[in-house]
Structure 1
Amino acid sequence: MSITLKGVIERKTIGTGAWALVADDGKTYEIYQASPKEMLKNGLKVEVKGDVRDDVMSFAMIGPILEVKSFEAIDS
């Protein structure tokens, strides 16, 4: 399922660690490993376009897996 979201990038310290997007609506998505490395900055406010992956699992289990196709840093 393809989606567009705005939110903040957070580093979660669960297990070996995981990157997450906490969307403006409060929902947390785990960022899939193949996402652009440039966006993996704790506290970065972004708008992302990507796909929710139902065929991927993780150890962190913090929310749906989000494979980011593109992103843009935003001011607010």
Structure 2
Amino acid sequence: MAGFEAGEGGLALIQRFDRTSEYLGAIDDRRERALAYFAAVNIPFSRQYEFNVALDQLFETDDATRLMAFVADCA
């Protein structure tokens, strides 16, 4: 990234991020792409139902607001 030092071992992280972004960008179906992305996020088992409800809302309304808020809360 321009303006930021990668730091020790940072180059490997940047390369992995770039490969992951490229892979996700190659998935045409946005729902499949969302699932592939969120598979990498640690969703606590105790909150799985909440995640599923937010994901259902995304698929039914094409509005990811609730899902993004949930994922941000898990971070």
Of Structure 1 and Structure 2, the greater strand share is in: 1
Could you say which structure has the greater relative contact order, defined with CA pairs below 8 angstroms and 6 or more residues apart?
A: 1
The TM-score range, normalised by the shorter chain, is: under 0.3
Q: What TM-score comes out, normalization by structure 2 length?
A: 0.23
The structure number with the bigger radius of gyration is: 2
Q: What TM-score comes out, normalization by structure 1 length?
A: 0.23
